[in-house]
Chains A and B, each alone.
Chain A
Amino acid sequence: MATIDEVKAAEGSDEAPKYKVIGTRPIRHDGADKVTGRALYGADIKIKGMIFGAILRSPHAHANIKSIDTSKAEALPGVRAVATSADLPEPGDKIAELGEGAVVLNHLSSNNLARTKVLYKGHAVAAVAADNLHIAQEAASLIEVEYEVLPPVMDVLKAMSSDAPVLNPDVRTEEASTGEKGDKPTNVAKHIVFEKGDIEKGFADAKYVVEREFRTSTVHQGYIEPHVATVLWNNDGQITVWTPTQGTFSVRSQMAELLHVPLARVKVVPAEIGGGFGGKISVYLAPAAAVLSRKAGVPVQIVMDRADVLQATGPTPGSFIRIKMGVDADGRLTAAEAWMAYEAGGYPGSPIGAGAMCVFSCYDIPNGRVEGYDVCVNKPRTNAYRAPGATNAAFATETVVDELCEKLGMEPVEFRLLNASKEGTRRIDGVTYPRVGLVETLEAIKNSDHYKTPLTGKNQGRGIGSGFWFNAGLKSAVTVTVNTDGSVSLLEGSTDIGGSRTGIAMQFAEAMGLAAEDIKPAVVDTDSVGYTDVTGGSRVTYATGWAAYEAAQDLKRQIVARAAELWDVDPAQVSYEDGHVIGPDKSVCFKEIAMELSTTGEPLIARGVSNHNEPGGAFGTHLVDVEVDPDTGKVDILRYTAAQDCGTAIHPAYVEGQIQGGAVQGIGWGLNEEYWYDETGSMRNANFLDYRIPTCYDLPMIDAIIVEVPNPGHPYGVRGVGEVPIVPPPAALEAAIYDAVGVRLYELPMSPPRVLHELLKKES
């Protein structure tokens, strides 16, 4: 539970820590607002004159829209505007990059307000704005829609068959490697193939080969704050959007594209964001709110309820995966093959690409083949969820690895140490790893107290799993202003979803030789800071932190030049070190020079940008002990330890928090969470009671071991942290359940009925 420096300090080492600010645990800058209820989240935003919107949603999973009659809704007193897809311009087939995945504009537009078809239950069909929410909801229910109901296709394999109902007449199968498209309408939007070595020879060289088929259910990010958008279409045509989003600039471009307005006419103001995990990048409400605002002439706020969030935003795909792996007598992997089909939901765009790249990412495998399919089904259009695509894949691969270990009679940790990806390992999709820390996470687990403590109880078992995520770089911008009192205001465009503004301020403080508390970070709107990509891909602490580091270098250069001028010396004789400007005959601390420069010249403002794409992948290894109730199939977690290579932990408490939170989302995915659909394609558990995310009573403490293998591609060695920890848990749990009661589970979630079913099957 500590960084290298913290461990050294605790052991009484007098070796100076490498950093002064990095690796400490200051209280977050936005802390007081968040524990007093003052922080303004999406639904807390109130704009003068604001009215309220409601969305009419499809009761059918698959239907043609024959007609929409809004006259009764419009006639209801208190209704100020009604909108349908007819109010959105024809978007065309341009592809928009959202930041963590791309979407065809035509599909994004139709996902916001359905055009000719509805493709899942809950699909937005029309929107109403009224003086209050109750009137808006009543009016929405008065809109008459005539549907021609079509048979839904809910299963990924069925959707791939040639006689399946086709959701989107414009979708053709694209070969990822060539970009060529098929000539027939289909539900299969993309086909990916990666190959390496000679797979037939690889399997021929194997002593043991295990091949298994897996299924995973659709699961949701489950952020506690529902989606909200408040939009003012001003009388001069300027559009302002207040919304909790992972990417203000992404929302700006989506709005400009969907509404056919110039980019410069859209300003996006970030509200505090109540969780996202990848699900708050795509727009769902803002385009409709904008149209309603234009018609009504006042700001419009639309808030989703929980059922809408589950049924009509972007969960992560259900999937079918077949894995085949071979090992030689020494336990070395000789070949691996994967066949993966991911449900995209109503429109193309599942994270199959990432899944196909991640599926064997933890292993050095000489021969391999991966085939992946992006498949439309009548479920909500999927979106990113924490390491999108990787968790499904790791569940399958790691379970096969566990079976291979059993055949070999090898400890799973030893097997992984023998076959682990390391610097120079070439992944099947062709990427060669830089310095990475998988081996170190395995060693950290092997050396943990948890691993060394044997488990002896009845129906108890232990499992291990590893996981990988790429992490992203992309673009970030930071602007800083030095105040006369020596404090620094820092503006950034990365919406802060879990304390990142402090992590960025700390990197700036470290570079300047200041304290974290001297920096005042703020996340500002799209007109107030340089372009910044989404808060996603575990990129913010890495990339926006780097921009802050660059802003510090810019500021130091300016301070040195100005001090030289002030002191009338050659700039070469002046340097900036550890919070002080040092001249030939004096050394002045930052606070003093800030005050002095403020009275002797122009304001001190600096900027930093970053656009690096060598983020260095990150790995984690998790160890879990479970006890299975043989009468009910319920799995209780007794102990949980997660080790992860974080490069350098900027704020260790929030790094631990990411590891713990990600692990628990993975636990929910592994044991409980799933979309329950009936035969009509209607989700039957669209609430938090029946779609049951883990509560604190379901869990023990989660021990997070921070492993620090500095990323050579970052000034402070940072690696992204947020996404990796969701990847290993389902696989680790599966291995633990098998160890406890001797049954294998090939389907997620491993809920009590499924475990019990396998137990009863084994008994009979």
Chain B
Amino acid sequence: MAKKRIVTATINGREEEFLCQPRQTLLEILRNTLNLTGAKEGCSNGNCGACSVIIDGRAVNSCMILGVEAEGANIETIEGLAPGDGLDPLQQAFLENAALQCGICTPGYIMSAKAFLDENPNPTEEEIRFSMAGNLCRCTGYDKIVRAIQQAAETRAEQSASCAKETV
């Protein structure tokens, strides 16, 4: 068995150090070593998006990255998304729009949508559908997910507008 390495990464704003075999995926490290089980394993080969996390601002399938590759990375997972009180606009919008049924794809969907809205704050329906196609949902038929992302985009725009006002 190959020797374990020590890897240091920032996870949800906190510096974490973990031991990692070279063959372990980042998803395995998150779920089994760090007990961050919000990222789900649906396919283990990058097809379903249930394991999506944000690394250095980009949504990635954590099953497609080795733990050792995370050295020095800034990783955001679903566990770090909600502010101390209440929920992130995306989380709130998913609930208000009934955009989940079984909920297994939801953490991955929300993290992918967050990275997408950070880059494209005012997307069209077509852009949402194109950019979210890597996240599979088998329950909802996507209608309510797309609407939730649209609503979250609006809420985020309102929040940043009121933020800007306060700074002025």
Contact = CB atoms under 8 A, between A and B. Distances in A.
B141 A225 contact: no
Contact of A657 (B47, B78, B140): B140
B158 to A, nearest CB: 20
A275 B105 CA distance: 10
Given A37-B78, A689-B45, A657 B98 contact: yes
B99 to A, nearest CB: 8
Given A224-B137, A275-B139, A696 B40 contact: no
A34 B38 contact: no
A663 B141 contact: yes
Interface in A650-683: 651, 653-654, 656-658, 660-665
A39 B103 contact: yes
Contact of A696 (B44, B100, B106, B145): B145
Contact of A35 (B23, B47, B106, B139): B106
B91 interface: yes
Contact of A697 (B78, B101, B104, B129): B129
B100 A34 contact: yes
A258 B3 CA distance: 42
B42 A225 contact: yes
Interface string B125-157: 100111011111111111111110000000000
Interface residues of B, number: 58
A75 B129 CA distance: 51
B114 to A, nearest CB: 12
A25 B98 contact: yes
A660 B104 contact: no
A702 B144 CA distance: 9
B72 to A, nearest CB: 24
A272 interface: yes
Interface in A233-284: 272-277
B37 interface: yes
Given A226-B41, A499-B101, A36 B91 contact: yes
A664 B101 contact: no
B75 interface: no
Contacts of B81: 36
Nearest to B102: A275
Contact of B138 (A34, A275, A651): A275
A36 B136 contact: no
Interface stretch (A40-48, A65-73, A193-201, A731-739): A40-48
A660 B99 CA distance: 11
Nearest to B111: A37
Count chain B CB atoms within 10 A of each CB in A27, A35, A663, A689 and give the residue with the most: A35
Interface in A204-254: 221-226
Contacts of A665: 138, 141
A575 interface: no
Contact of A699 (B77, B110, B142): B142
A224 B101 contact: no
Contact of B40 (A31, A41, A305, A653): A41
A27 B134 CA distance: 27
A694 B140 CA distance: 11
A177 interface: no
A333 B163 CA distance: 66
Contacts of B45: 306, 687-689
A498 interface: yes
B143 A28 contact: no
Interface of B: 21, 23, 31, 35-45, 47-48, 50, 77-79, 81-82, 87, 91, 94-98, 100-107, 110, 125, 128-130, 132-147
Ranked 4 nearest A-B pairs via Cβ: A37-B38, A274-B104, A664-B141, A498-B101
Given A37-B77, A499-B101, A696-B146, 5 more contacts: A35-B103, A36-B81, A43-B37, A695-B134, A695-B136
Interface of A: 25, 27-28, 30-32, 34-41, 43-44, 46, 134, 221-226, 272-277, 303, 305-306, 497-499, 651, 653-654, 656-658, 660-665, 687-689, 693-699, 701-702, 704
22 contacts: A27-B96, A34-B106, A36-B91, A41-B104, A43-B40, A43-B41, A224-B42, A273-B102, A274-B40, A274-B103, A274-B104, A275-B139, A276-B102, A306-B47, A497-B102, A653-B98, A656-B98, A657-B144, A660-B140, A694-B141, A696-B146, A701-B125
